[in-house]
A and B are shown apart, each in its own frame.
Chain A
Amino acid sequence: MKPLTTEQLLDLIENRLPPAEEAAVRARLAVDPAAQAELQSLAELINLMRDDDSVDAPEYVIARAVRLIRPIAPAPAPNLFRRIVATLLRDSRQMPLAAGLRAAQTTPRSLAYSADEYELDVQITSRAGFWQVRGQIFGADLAGVVTLANADQSVQAPINELGEFDMPPVAEGVYTLRVALPACEIVIERLELLP
């Protein structure tokens, strides 16, 4: 005997069969447990749909819930190409000396720079024909390296946990000082180490 089709079972559920055909389908159904199970499964699915009187939540309710999450700003990727040129704020050489004092080459020259969210203090001293640069950086995430270089020479020093660096002595000249940090590079373009 040919098994009942899904279409016949659905027509039975929906009362769409003519009386004679319905009687025939029921008779075959009575002796076909697989068809009975299929009929029950289809009827349950249709009942789920027919009984579903749910409605969408109002849009303002949804929108309010959607706004609950605050997107986490992506961590700034290490970007050595973000280059900040430091701006000189103060140079002790440009400031008037206190009465009674004379400038001396052994007196450290003090410079203060600003570079966006960072600040730099730089101390320059001269001794025995060589120049030494020390400094401190203020800001966040200061792990990095400082490079002092010109066409003739280049020296490097690490930045310690306090943001301090202490460069090896160099000969006189005009240098570029670069501070390489995880988030950026700070540049002092013309650092004159001259008498």
Chain B
Amino acid sequence: MQDADDAWLVAACRQGDATAWEILIRRYQRLIYAIPRRAGLDEDGAAEVFQRVCMALLEHLHTIERPDRLGAWLATTARRESWRQLRGRRTSAIEPLETDEEREVTIVDPALLPDEQLERLERQHEVRLALARLDERCRALLQMLFYRPDPAPYDVVARELQIPEGSIGPTRARCLQKLRRLLEESAG
């Protein structure tokens, strides 16, 4: 079930499948949590947004028309909840996903998490999901080369991954190609 796509997991959640629900939450936890943090909320505020977004997802499981676009739905909902937190407009009830017109009204500061930034967070999340589907060797190599603040020198990479230093360049190219194929597949 770990590899099931979002549409399948949403359908299973609609039947009350707790395992599918946990897989969905764990799949998107980083994206949901990143948005309030990027909006400037502290850990407690981000935790509250996280819970509200998950409650909204649970409430809307039966009405989400495009489960294959779940990431975008969660990102939009997380942004709205983050704005609400920042405005201090804490409400106990989870409101349904707003229409475009209502969403326009909701915006307080368009500079806070603009669409471009939100889309970038979604895209980064898609790359992480694709990375997780790579084989261990490729995943480890790309993480060392591209997910560290200071990319590791090749000799360090070679030592840590126990591969010849001369093979790092070609392996890196092959792994990135695999990653791109996975991204293309997931984009449909």
Contacts and interface: CB of A to CB of B under 8 A. Distances in A.
Interface of A: 5-7, 10-11, 14, 16, 41-42, 45-46, 48-52, 54-58, 60-62, 64-66, 68-72
B54 A6 contact: no
Interface SS of B by simple majority? helix
Contact of B177 (A6, A52, A55, A66): A6
Contact of A72 (B15, B43, B128, B176): B15
Contacts of B142: 49
Nearest to A6: B173
Contact of A69 (B18, B125, B173): B18
10 contacts: A11-B169, A48-B120, A52-B124, A57-B46, A61-B51, A64-B51, A66-B25, A68-B58, A69-B16, A71-B16
Contacts of B26: 62, 66
B60 interface: no
Interface stretch (B30-38, B80-88, B95-103, B104-112): B30-38
A62 B46 CA distance: 12
Nearest to A66: B22
A46 B124 CA distance: 10
A65 to B, nearest CB: 4
A5 B172 CA distance: 12
A48 B126 CA distance: 10
Interface of B: 13, 15-18, 21-22, 25-26, 29-34, 37, 43, 46-47, 50-51, 54-55, 58, 120-121, 123-125, 127-128, 142, 146-147, 151, 169-170, 172-173, 176-177, 179-180, 183
Contacts of A69: 13, 16, 18, 21, 58
B169 A61 contact: no
Contacts of B151: 14
Nearest to B17: A71
Contact of A54 (B34, B172, B173): B34
Which of B16, B43, B142 gathers the greatest number of chain A CB atoms within 10 Å? Answer: B16
Nearest to B48: A61
B9 to A, nearest CB: 12
Nearest to B123: A48
Contacts of A61: 29, 33, 46-47, 50-51
Given A65-B54, A69-B58, A72-B16, A55 B127 contact: no
B50 A57 contact: yes
A26 B107 CA distance: 45
Contacts of A6: 173, 176-177
A10 B30 contact: no
Contacts of B173: 5-7, 10
